[in-house]
Amino acid sequence: MTNKTLKKISKVIKKASSIAIFSHTDPDFDAIGSALGLKYSLELCGKRADFISSEKQTEKAEKIFGNDFCTKKFDRESYDLFISLDNPARSRCEHEEVFGENTNSILLDHHKSLDLQGKYNYTNTNKSSCAEIVLDLLEAGHFPIDKRVASCLYAGLSTDSGAFINTNTNADSFLAAYKLLKYGANSIKFNEEHYRSMTEKELNIRQFIYNHFKIEKNIAFCIVSQEDMKNLKANKRDFSQISSELIKFDKANVSFSVVEKEPKAFYFSFRAKEGFPVRDIAEKFGGGGHLYACAGKIVDQKATATSVAKLILKEVKHKFN
């Protein structure tokens, strides 16, 4: 049965003529794919729709989604509707001031709700990706879905479900994949470019992870300092998959990474196997996400990547003995 809230939200979108779409900072493929899938569908309706993000994207993201899919400069007065996708936290929203009960704003998410809210909100934690929620919204409002829209949403669905192997994968995930393929999503092209392709820099980064990870008490972790970032000529998004790589280790029940992506700004990311929920630990440090996949950011002028990692490791050990 189509959700009544999504139908209501679709009516709000149809009344708007110029729409700014946001996601979280350091956007992953679900954030990008969801935003672009919605953007391209709304453009097919004759609306102006921009994905607002000032951050530099990875080589792989530009290869899959194109070179200029983001609008870097944001003029609030140019838009009459603001939509946030895949981001429940104000701390990870570039322009959090446009969201709230007193603005024409919408929040769509599949994470446990935290502190970011719009005038209209829809959260469904049973969905493995925000791309699934965007698909439900487009279908509920009878918005157009062509091959380009479907391919963007498929990219988000595939990556956030870990190619349909993460613990958040369920029957709805496969149903959404089926629908998107019926709409024309090019899954073969995406799989080749994302799962079967690696740049030289990506290979060097993966080699760094394998050479520098540590494991204690079934907890695998890796620390990346600013100096490491500079030596590898890496940007903020290049180390996004460390925890996903380390959780593959058969001795690891929990994995995490701490990356100093900016001076004294430490980004942490968790992955965990079923039975080892870590979201509450991420929330303790100001982050959030799913039970077994979550992240956050710590800014501390006195800290180092190593000291932050020790703090997180202590919390994980305390929870799981």
Tokens of 54: 């000032």
Split at pLDDT 50, 70, 90, the class of 113 is low
Q: Which residue has the tokens 């070179």?
A: 67
pLDDT of residue 26: 82
The residues, ordered by sequence, that sit 6+ positions from 258 with a Cβ below 8 Å of its Cβ are 221, 222, 223, 224, 266, 267, 268, 305, 308, 309, 312
C-alpha of 279 from chain center = 15
CA distance 177 to 171: 10
Split at pLDDT 50, 70, 90, the class of 166 is confident
For the segment 258-307, what is each residue's pLDDT rounded down to a tens digit?
A: 999 889 999 999 999 999 999 999 999 988 888 898 888 899 999 999 99
DSSP codes, 183-247: TT--HHHHHHHHTS---HHHHHHHHHHHHH-EEETTEEEEEE-HHHHHHTT--TTTTTTHHHHHT
pLDDT of residue 201: 83
Split at pLDDT 50, 70, 90, the class of 49 is very high
Distance from the first to the final alpha carbon of the chain = 44
pLDDT of residue 256: 97
Closest C-alpha to 229, from 253, 214, 212: 212
- Give the angle 310-311-316 at the CA atoms, nearest 5°: 95
pLDDT of residue 25: 86
Percent above pLDDT 90 for the chain: 73
CA distance 268 to 295: 6
Q: Describe the crossing of helices 147-160 and 130-140 by its angle, rounded to 10 degrees.
A: 150
Closest C-alpha to 83, from 30, 122, 46, 25: 122
Residue 47 has pLDDT above 80, yes or no: yes
What is the reported pTM?
A: 0.84
Helix (H) or strand (E) holding 14: helix 4-15
pLDDT of residue 1: 42
In what side-by-side order are the strands of the sheet with 265-272? 214-216, 219-224, 254-262, 265-272, 293-299, 288-289
CA distance 41 to 19: 12
Residue 5 has pLDDT above 90, yes or no: yes
- Give the mean pLDDT of the chain: 92
For the segment 190-230, what is each residue's pLDDT rounded down to a tens digit?
A: 999 999 988 888 889 999 999 999 999 899 999 999 999 98
Percent above pLDDT 70 for the chain: 98
